[in-house]
Amino acid sequence: MPAKKPQPKKSKTSKRAVTLDAGAFDRRLARHHDELRWLYMELYDNGDMFAELIDQMRCFYRERPADLRALDASREIHGTWYREQKMLGMQMYIDNFAGTIKGVEEKIGYLERCGATCIHLMPFLDTPADKSRSDGGYAVSDFRRVRPDLGTMDDLAHLARTCHERGISLCMDFVMNHTSEEHEWARRARSGEGEYMSRYFFEANPAVIEQYTRDVPQVFPTTAPGHFTYLPELGQSVMTQFYPYQWDLNYRNPRVFNEMMYNFLYLANQGMDIIRLDAVPYIWKQLGTNCRNLPQVHTIVRMMRMIGEVVCPGIALLGEVVMAPAEVAPYFGIPEKPECHMLYNVTTMATTWHTVATRDTRLLRRQLEAISSLPSSYTFLNYLRCHDDIGWGLDYPLLAAWGQREVAHKRYLNEYFLGDVPGSMSRGALYNADPVTGDARFCGTTASMCGIEVAGFEGDAMKMDVAVQLDVMLHAYMLTQSGMPIIYSGDELAQVNDYSYRDDPEKAEDSRYIHRGAFPWDLVDNIDVEGSVQQRVFDALRLLERVRCIEPLFSPDARLRPKDYSDRAILWLVRECGGETLHAVFNFSDMPKTVWMPEAGEYVDLLAGEREDIATVELPAWGFFWKKRGW
């Protein structure tokens, strides 16, 4: 009898197949290797460093936890998970919301009640303890360590697992333009170690510094003027485009690129789903240019996209590109060579507030037309406000044609939102008012900018009705747009401005803290109090979100376009899908309006859930509707 053939060690092999599909890495690498190598060599011409990068990618793939690799595999099959209809983002500071990462985990029930399916945890990596030198966490001292008062990396990975079990994804900031002056590289550079000095931009020549000052616009003209910070111990200056304690990294040095990619993969392996590329347009510097959006930035983002697709294809890159409209879309790359998966819809956000202040929707219609003419695969993150200021980055050439001049118009917008213009109930604070250009940006919570703070302070019920209506209408309009909506935690409870930052010497200089107040847990109970502001806003938002989540007209494949309407105060958006049409109409004025439907007949009001025969609709001040036709 022939000897019995040795049986393959079944269990071991199959277990290995489940936990580590080594072939997947090679397959993905084979897809991207040539382009990745080409771009890397073009930028760095360094084969050894490229080989090291590939080796490290393989290591990060091997270390990637099995549950995340399984998620990668399913997301590879299902494609664009981040633009699914159910996506609803919520952004929050961990300490403001729940003290610690563990605290956030304990509060997941509340986040589910809000309908959140994606949570953006604001910067939580180690940062200088002195808050006046941490830029709200955007000055990172260690990319592999969580700020000790918030918890540990294990807490983060645990939170990510719990979130995934509940169908919630996590987003974090990857602050790639700079490190804190307390980062190990910066400390060693400061002590004169050449290897580390080469990771930043040191300059001793005043003529070069002067040229940068001439050519490169200021990021924080008032709170942090200048582009370099002098270090007396070295007799040289270091480039600091943002704050003096945030040292710009030198991506001309392949060591910087490689190490930052390892940090990115390390963080992805903790279970992050979306990596927000902070201030990405700034990462490449070239004397003689404005140091923004240079071609090398796109090369780096493209490489990062490929590195992610090889090691952890389930993650999505969200570009923070707060730039003029023409500069934003290129960060999506081209269909065969994509860069970011998602970008902030920043111009639309600023134009929305312009529309509130002017009651004139023409600019917003143009902006939404521009967005809807882009390929539908481009996914935008829509928001009314975030943790940063609102910069008035509008289409000024177009406004000029309508007789509005840039500086005067910005002044008007700021006065409007400060509440200094008749008809405005807004409250907030200026940010980086530049005495030279007359420019200033604006800070405030959505509720305060809508008048809820003023109405509450004055105890004026009629004013409150108007303010709540405006707040809800703006959310409805935001939810009508295509892409992922994101709400700033607290806005669902109409949280108003927090002025206490002015008494805190570590924050007083930075008015963005006005809209970064501690989460008002005491107001959560009011959601159950019929007629309270919290109940009215929370329930209205939940209804809108629920409808958006299930109604096919909000599917990512539906086409959105603005429709002309004779009244400039009316914004008319149309979503079309499967022979049905959604008419989403918004009254951007404090006067009631009668709106004529395109054809008299039967419509379904999506919020009331009722069929109705109509030819006209009466809209109150700041009113809106979602009505569907054709079924």
Rounded Cα gap, residues 551 and 606, in angstroms: 9
Q: Whose CB is nearest to ligand GLC?
A: 138
| Min separation Cβ 441 and ligand GLC, Å | 12
- Residue 489 or 587 having the CB closest to ligand GLC: 489
- Residue 380 or 586 having the CB closest to ligand GLC: 380
Active site residue 278: yes
Tell me the C-alpha to C-alpha distance, in Å, between residue 133 and each of 114, 128, 482: 33, 6, 37
Q: Which candidate in 105, 173, 278, 471 is catalytic?
A: 278
Binding to ligand GLC in span 494-553, by CB under 6 A: none
Calculate the CA 595 to chain-centre distance: 34
Q: Which of residues 155, 181, 182, 278 is near ligand GLC by CB under 6 A?
A: 278
Binding to ligand GLC in span 33-62, by CB under 6 A: none
Question: DSSP of 469-500, one letter per residue?
Answer: HHHHHHHHHHHHSSSEEEEETTGGGT----GG
- Residue 116 or 139 having the CB closest to ligand GLC: 139
Q: Which of residues 242, 245, 412, 538 is near ligand GLC by CB under 6 A?
A: 242
Q: Is residue 135 part of the contact set for ligand GLC (CB under 6 A)?
A: yes
The shares of helix, strand and coil residues in the chain, as percent rounded to the nearest 5, are 45, 20, 35
| 133-141, 193-201, 367-375, 593-601 -> range binding ligand GLC (CB under 6 A) | 133-141
SS3 of 317, please?
Answer: strand
| 131-139, 299-307, 332-340, 345-353 -> range binding ligand GLC (CB under 6 A) | 131-139
Rounded Cα gap, residues 262 and 317, in angstroms: 15
Strand runs (DSSP E) across 123-224, as ranges? 125-126, 142-146, 169-175, 178-180, 202-203
- Residue 276 or 536 having the CB closest to ligand GLC: 276
Tell me the C-alpha to C-alpha distance, in Å, between residue 552 and each of 117, 411, 433: 18, 42, 45
- Residue 279 or 569 having the CB closest to ligand GLC: 279
SS3 of 86, please?
Answer: coil
Could you tell me where the DSSP H helices lie in 386-529? 396-401, 406-418, 446-450, 452-458, 461-480, 521-524
| 130-138, 293-301, 349-357, 415-423 -> range binding ligand GLC (CB under 6 A) | 130-138
Q: Is residue 626 part of the contact set for ligand GLC (CB under 6 A)?
A: no
| 2-10, 135-143, 210-218, 415-423 -> range binding ligand GLC (CB under 6 A) | 135-143
HEC assignment per residue over 264-310: HHHHHCCCCCEEEEECHHHCCCCCCCCCCCCHHHHHHHHHHHHHHHH
Q: Which candidate in 173, 182, 248, 320 is catalytic?
A: 320
Q: Which of residues 175, 371, 468, 527 is near ligand GLC by CB under 6 A?
A: 175
Q: How many residues bind ligand GLC (CB under 6 A)?
A: 10
Burial of 396 (0-12, 13-18, 19+ CB in 10 A): middle
CA atoms within 13 A on the CB side of 200: 32
Q: Is residue 389 part of the contact set for ligand GLC (CB under 6 A)?
A: no
Binding to ligand GLC in span 292-321, by CB under 6 A: 320
Q: What residues make contact with ligand GLC under the rule CB under 6 A?
A: 135-136, 138, 175, 242, 278-279, 320, 387-388
Active site residues: 278, 320
